[in-house]
Amino acid sequence: MAVIGEGEGHGGFSLLHALGAGYGSSIGIDLSVKVRLRDNEPSKIADDPNGVLDAVVDAWVAAGLEKPAEELFWQARSNVPSGQGLKSSAALSVAAIKALCQASEVELTNAQIVDIAAEAQISSGVSMTGSVDDAWAAIEPGWKIVNPNLPAAEGILMEGEFPEPSDWKVLIVLRGERELLPDAQRFAQVAPQFEKAISAMEQGALTVALTENGRATSNALGDGRGRRLANDLLVWGARAAGISGSGPAIASLVPSFNDSVLRRIEQLAEQRGHETIVTDIWTE
């Protein structure tokens, strides 16, 4: 045998950072990780420096599920930049669990998949909270505000779709490798600054939430350059901009009907030495 299972998970950007806000919320974008699970060793195995895939298998077994083969080998193809705050680890975890489900002929609910993904992300050390909101964004379109301290099926406080997603382009500015690591104590100290983002989410003002969450996150990280660049994106014509996850990438929203503004923002960001990605909000 060779390929015994396949799966896919989507990247995304943050609307609420769980460390600072207490609740997490992310939304998926049209960037994804696709994995293949094999029972024989391929010529090229998946690059997984954080050991997320091994952690997924361990979490799968800890959930009382059997491995589909004694030895498991992974292949992965991704266009989600890693280590940027764009939910690549959650996308990889979800994709791997889907592949395990297919290989094992096991049906799990999305909530069960999110729970296993959260356990894998904590045990591999890539997340302090389990990134439950990121895993939801990887497996379902739309947004959810979640309590990361509850099982996934019980932790959804609010949910909805992004209004008129076709009206927007997601422009992502990449700023190189992550240099600033999140510190739970610093996030706790600036927790009141996340209130504006929480209030915006409650009112359905998702663009405001993206910007306010990004500002609070930049303060928690001590990333003044990131905050200034996000502000510049707004001056250049973006309707919302903020650090995603714990950075360093900045996600922004630009009206899709205004190609000239989108091109101008891309050019200005690239003139400063930053790579950009333009994509869409993920819909069914």
- CB 57 within 8 Å of CB 67: yes
Backbone angles phi, psi at 144, to 5 degrees: -140, 140
Residue 245's alpha-carbon distances to 14, 89, 100, 248, in angstroms, are 5, 12, 27, 8
Tallying the residues shown for the chain, one arrives at 284
- Amino acid sitting at position 19: L
Q: What is the pLDDT of residue 1?
A: 57
Which of the four pLDDT bands, split at 50, 70 and 90, describes residue 245?
A: very high
Multiple choice CATH, 3-160, 3.40.50.720, 3.10.20.90, 1.20.1050.10, 3.30.230.10 = 3.30.230.10
CATH topology of domain 165-279: Alpha-Beta Plaits (3.30.70)
Closest to 144 in 3D by CA, of 128, 126, 132, 130 = 132
pLDDT in tens, 17-69: 999 999 999 999 999 999 999 998 888 888 888 899 999 999 999 999 999 99
Q: What is the pLDDT of residue 45?
A: 85
pLDDT in tens, 83-131: 999 999 999 999 999 999 999 999 999 999 999 999 999 999 999 888 9
Q: Domain ranges for the chain, please list them.
A: 3-160, 165-279
Average of per-residue pLDDT values in the chain:
95
Q: What is the pLDDT of residue 168?
A: 97
For the entire predicted model, the pTM comes to 0.95
pLDDT in tens, 156-211: 999 999 999 999 999 999 999 888 888 999 999 999 999 999 999 999 999 999 99
